[in-house]
Amino acid sequence: MMFWAAGVTNESTRDNPQRVLVGPPPQEDLYGTGMIPKDAILNYTKALGTPDLLDSVVVTHGGGGDIQSGESLLWFKSYEKGREKWQGPTLDGLWFDEEPPLDIYSEGRTRTQTGGIFTMMTFTPLLGMSDVVRRFLMEKPDGTHVTSMGIEDAEHYSKESREKIVAGYPEHEREARAKGIPVLGSGRVFPVTEESITCEPITLPKHWPRICGIDFGWDHPTAAVWLAWDKDADKVYLYDCYRASKQSVIIHAAAVKGRGEWIPVAWPHDADNETAQANGEALRKQYLDQGVKMLAERAQYEDTRGNSVEAGIQDLLAYMQTGRLKVFKHLADWFEEFRLYHRKDGRVVKEREDLMAATRYGHMMKRFASIHQKDKPLKYDDRGIV
């Protein structure tokens, strides 16, 4: 079996994957103190040009005397020599230590396409929303998996030590280094920390009016959020969310009604387009036919802001920055989108932002939020809630 392990440069390959797998250079007597035990290292060769860098290691894993059965061959590579140096043999496994350029990732991935066991990458996303990060966090192709680990998972550090470590990073890197959230810098739509908007779930008082915001999709998800409004404090709690792709209106409607049939639903302008569906029915009417309490008018402000995306974003941002918008901490799908919601060349990137859009619609129309009164049903006709 044949494997590659790679880093950005020859030196970083030596100091990271080689150290972790074989042991720390330059002491050859420490080879075998890494993940590969000493008695499993049959032989190794050194690379030319970089002190203490290994070129290859022969590892035994029990039985046999040839590469196919009882031995594996591990080669060390780097990104600095370019994609052409990555052309070559079929591999059983590949480890990228630190984020590779997309062309090298693609070339390396090609090496494992015929019978390969795995391709894995370990890195802190300091390069931001790169093509490689986008592929795994936004496109999410079948057969891939992302494991996020943050400093809170490093339980061998005390709480005080973790806080000191995070405080020692530049502010724009803290979420990337402490939580694995891509560095977005000035590209973030909501430049606020997760902690500042997160809260433990609470029991919502019955006198707080509620509203649902929904964003429609097919290939990209249909998404909905539920908001409760403490009008006395002008504070909004986002307490539930839903996101699903390639499902019928019947399925989505059932999910919405399951959170409370009486809750009014704010919807986007394109849902009232008579050509929104091939059968000629507006999406809004299809949901009305399923018993969803759609508002009579599309999501928009009462004033000159209309349904402006930027106005909605700035409105939400103001609530976040002043502590008046809180999100229940268990809503993983919502926070996933929040972390990746960003701009490119000043424009909001409309990928994996369905829950963010639904939040904007619900917040924009919170003046129509309603209290559940069984003895006083909402006024409702074929246009929706009026």
Q: Which CATH class is domain 197-385?
A: alpha beta
pLDDT at residue number 6 = 96
Residue 41 has pLDDT above 70, yes or no: yes
DSSP string, 65-84: SSTTTTEEEEEEEESTT-GG
The overall longest dimension of the chain from CA atoms, in Å, is 84
- Count the neighbouring beta carbons within 10 Å of the beta carbon of residue 57: 23
Q: Give the pLDDT confidence of 110-135 residue by residue, as tens digits.
A: 999 887 889 999 999 888 878 898 88
Amino acid identity of residue 40, one-letter, is A
> At 104, is the pLDDT very low, low, confident or very high (cuts 50, 70, 90)?
very high
| 155 Rama class: left (phi>0) / alpha (psi -120 to 50) / beta | alpha
pLDDT at residue number 62 = 64
pLDDT at residue number 59 = 94
- SS3 label, residue 286: helix
- Structure letter (DSSP) for residue 12: H
The residue behind tokens 């494991």 is: 147
Amino acid identity of residue 315, one-letter, is D
pLDDT at residue number 385 = 44
Residue 376 has pLDDT above 80, yes or no: no
Percent with pLDDT over 90 in the chain: 63
pLDDT at residue number 164 = 92
Q: Give the pLDDT confidence of 245-262 residue by residue, as tens digits.
A: 999 999 999 999 999 999
Q: Give the pLDDT confidence of 315-346 residue by residue, as tens digits.
A: 999 999 999 999 999 999 999 999 889 988 88
Burial (CB count <10 Å: 0-12, 13-18, 19+), residue 146: exposed
Q: Give the pLDDT confidence of 145-188 residue by residue, as tens digits.
A: 999 888 989 989 999 999 999 889 887 788 888 888 887 766 88
The residue behind tokens 């959170």 is: 259
Average pLDDT, the chain: 88
Q: Give the pLDDT confidence of 67-85 residue by residue, as tens digits.
A: 455 889 999 999 998 999 8
Q: What is the pTM of this model?
A: 0.68
Lowest-pLDDT range of 5-14, 42-51, 147-156, 274-283: 274-283
Residues of the chain with CATH 3.30.420.280: 197-385
Please give the Cα distance from 100 to 252 (Å, whole number): 39
- SS3 label, residue 261: coil
Q: What average pLDDT score do residues 298-305 get?
A: 92
Catalytic residues: 98
- Count the neighbouring beta carbons within 10 Å of the beta carbon of residue 155: 9
pLDDT at residue number 100 = 94
Please give the Cα distance from 303 to 313 (Å, whole number): 16
Q: Where are the alpha helices (DSSP H) in 298-375?
A: 309-321, 332-340, 354-364
